[in-house]
Amino acid sequence: MHTKVRQLRQLLQEMERPVTDESQVSSGCWPLDAILPRSGFSRGSLVEWLVSDQASGAGLLALLAARQACGGSGILVIVDCGRLFYPPAAAAFQIQLDRTIVVHPVNEKDECWALDQALRCPHVSAVLAWPRRFDSRTFRRLQLAAAASGCLGLFVRPVVTQKEPSWADVRLLVTPETSRSGWRLHVKLLRCRGHIQKDFVELEIDEQTGEIHAAHPCPLVPRLACSETGSRQSQA
């Protein structure tokens, strides 16, 4: 076999192999962890949250994941191009503002540069941003930067970017729904490294406490049924 092909195969195998548990970080809500193949996000990777609007709740989910990644003592970098980030709300979600660095780039070029620098810093635990546009090369550079430092990159992006190529390990589509009780969010797993099956979860954020729980435990039953059917077929 040609050396180049062998190297390429090795590289692909490395990219697709599941990463070790030590490098995992919970998403901050167990129902979402349940649909992720490694029960959380990998450190040193990028996670994309696609939303139709800034009022869709994905920012809150990304913030919770950032809180988990920081674990009380890590450093969070927020790259906020639009100057919309409201710190008191983040503090209500137990984000430590004294360990949070907020960057306000003035244009998209500076935003990409700031993201690259923050993701490349090994002492930064998580980077949260709301970028709009990336070209594939920039995205790849950011992914390599995160992989080099072990930092978790969390990007909340418009849903129109769904068709664009992505270097994120996990891609989630968040759609808010109406509910009689808490705030309901439909989270669909569009893409996950080493995991082919597309899955979804209905989350509900409690009005009073802000805790997140599964809105419908029922979808678990069809999934279990599917796996049961699959195992029977394999036995047969």
Partner 1 sequence: MPVAEATGLTRRHGRYTLHVEPYDPSTDLEALEKLAVWCHRFSPLVGIDEIQPPETLLLDVGGVTSLFGGEESLIGQTRRGLQQLRLNVQMGLASTLGAAWALAHYGCGEAGQEHLAIAASDQSQASIHRLPLAALRLPARMLETLQRLGLVTIADLLPLPRGELKARFGGFLLKRLDQILDQAPEMIVPVRSAPDFEVEWCFECPTSHHNSIQLVIKQLVERLCVLLRRHQRGVLLMICDLHYQHAPSTHLEVGLFRPSIDPQHLFQLVHVQLENFRLSDFVTDISLRATSSTPLVCRQEEFVTIKGRDYKDSSRIASLVEKLSGRVGRLNVVRYILQNDAQPEMAYRAEPLIGYRPRGKTCSAVSFTPLHQPLHLLPEPLLLQVMIVDANGPPSHFQYHDQQQHVARHWGPERIETGWWRQRNVRRDYYRVETTTGQRLWIFRCLKYGSWFLHGMFG
For the bound state, the minimum distance from the C-beta of residue 66 to partner 1, rounded and expressed in Å, comes to: 12
The Cβ of residue 113 has, within 10 Å, a number of other Cβ atoms equal to: 14
What is the torsional sign of CA 133, 139, 142, 143?
Answer: positive
Both tokens assigned to 184: 């309901």
Footprint on residues 60-89 left by partner 1 (CB under 8 A) = 60-63, 71, 73-75, 77, 83-89
Comparison of 3 and 209: residue with beta carbon closer to partner 1: 209
CA distance 223 to 43: 27
27 binds partner 1 (CB under 8 A): no
Of the candidate residues 29, 35, 58, 66, the single one contacting partner 1 (CB under 8 A): 58
CA distance 147 to 219: 34
Stretch that binds partner 1, among 22-30, 122-130, 138-146, 215-223 (CB under 8 A): 122-130
200 binds partner 1 (CB under 8 A): no
Contact 52, 175 (CB under 8 A): yes
For the bound state, the minimum distance from the C-beta of residue 108 to partner 1, rounded and expressed in Å, comes to: 12
Of the candidate residues 114, 126, 145, 172, the single one contacting partner 1 (CB under 8 A): 114
| Site of interaction with partner 1 (CB under 8 A) | 53-63, 71, 73-75, 77, 83-93, 97-106, 110, 113-114, 117-118, 121-124, 175-179, 183-185, 205-210
